[in-house]
């Protein structure tokens, strides 16, 4: 069976996300070289030419759902849920369900309204995201509003992370849950104030 998925390459100098079809019995390389059984993603195109060995523990299957930008949602994706009234975060658990990390509720992924959700990253790249947000919830703090966990490919300003333990402030392009210097948790914001889209829509309606 061929499954649409993504996973991180295991034989490139730096692991990169490969999107395509997950296979364990790879086709021959166009040069005739036979590949062993294993974990692979076939990107398609010329038969056997775009097959990458991947790390099985990074494998994420594609779901049937898309976000507001029509991007396909995969397992382990972190979704920002945003309506006029509230924000929240979901983690895609498998191809059918997502879990609300604020209250633990499990939802059917098909019940999510595409226009209210946006993929902001994934748990493979940001394994401490849940812990970082849970710290806010458990301590009665506002959960940060993060429309992206890596701002490099977005028009957003740098992320501003403030350590809740020692007060250290750091600017960066990627979200971090903890301040390595003291072990405290960061709260996150932006170098310049970001207004929520839904708030703007309401203000200018
Ligand atoms: Zn600190």
- Residue 178 to residues 74, 78, 121: CA-CA distances in angstroms? 26, 18, 17
Ligand 1 center to 164 CA (angstroms)? 7
Question: What's the burial of 74, exposed, middle or buried (CB within 10 Å: 0-12/13-18/19+)?
Answer: buried
- Residue 79 to residues 23, 55, 205: CA-CA distances in angstroms? 27, 23, 26
Please state, for a pLDDT cut of 70, what percent of the chain lies above it: 96
Ligand 1 center to 33 CA (angstroms)? 52
Model's pTM, two decimal places?
A: 0.93
Express each pLDDT in 7-31 by its tens digit.
Answer: 999 988 999 999 999 999 999 999 9
Express each pLDDT in 51-92 by its tens digit.
Answer: 999 999 999 999 999 999 999 999 999 999 999 999 999 999
Ligand 1 center to 129 CA (angstroms)? 17
Does 108 score more than 60 pLDDT?
A: yes
Does 119 score more than 80 pLDDT?
A: yes
Query: Facing residues of 74 across strands?
Result: 62
Ligand 1 center to 181 CA (angstroms)? 6
Under the banding of pLDDT at 50, 70 and 90, the label for residue 135 is very high
CA angle 98, 101, 105 (to 5 degrees): 60
Does 2 score more than 80 pLDDT?
A: no
The structure tokens listed for 88 are 């929240």
| Residue 8 to residue 200: CA distance in whole angstroms | 37
Ligand 1 center to 157 CA (angstroms)? 22
Ligand 1 center to 134 CA (angstroms)? 18
Ligand 1 center to 196 CA (angstroms)? 28
Ligand 1 center to 79 CA (angstroms)? 27
Give the domain ranges of the chain.
3-58, 60-199
Express each pLDDT in 158-200 by its tens digit.
Answer: 999 999 999 999 999 999 999 999 999 999 999 998 888 777 6
Ligand 1 center to 160 CA (angstroms)? 13
Ligand 1 center to 24 CA (angstroms)? 44
Ligand 1 center to 50 CA (angstroms)? 45
């Amino acid at each position: 069976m061929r499954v649409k998925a993504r996973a991180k390459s295991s034989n490139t100098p730096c692991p990169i996300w490969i999107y395509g079809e997950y296979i364990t019995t790879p086709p021959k390389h166009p040069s005739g070289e036979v590949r062993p059984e294993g974990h692979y993603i076939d990107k398609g195109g010329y038969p056997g030419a775009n097959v990458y060995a991947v790390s099985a523990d990074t494998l994420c299957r594609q779901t049937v759902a898309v976000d507001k930008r029509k991007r396909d949602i995969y397992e382990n994706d972190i979704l920002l849920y945003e309506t006029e009234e509230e924000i929240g975060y979901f983690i895609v658990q498998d191809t059918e369900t997502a879990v609300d990390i604020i209250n633990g509720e499990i939802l059917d992924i098909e019940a999510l309204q595409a226009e209210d959700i946006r993929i902001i990253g994934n748990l493979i790249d940001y394994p401490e995201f849940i812990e970082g947000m849970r710290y806010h919830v458990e301590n009665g703090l506002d959960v940060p509003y993060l429309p992206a966990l890596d701002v490099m490919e977005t028009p957003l300003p740098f992320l501003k992370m403030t350590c809740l333990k020692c007060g250290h402030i750091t600017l960066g392009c990627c979200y971090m849950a903890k301040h390595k210097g003291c072990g405290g948790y960061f709260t996150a914001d932006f170098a310049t104030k970001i207004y929520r889209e839904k708030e703007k829509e309401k203000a200018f309606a």
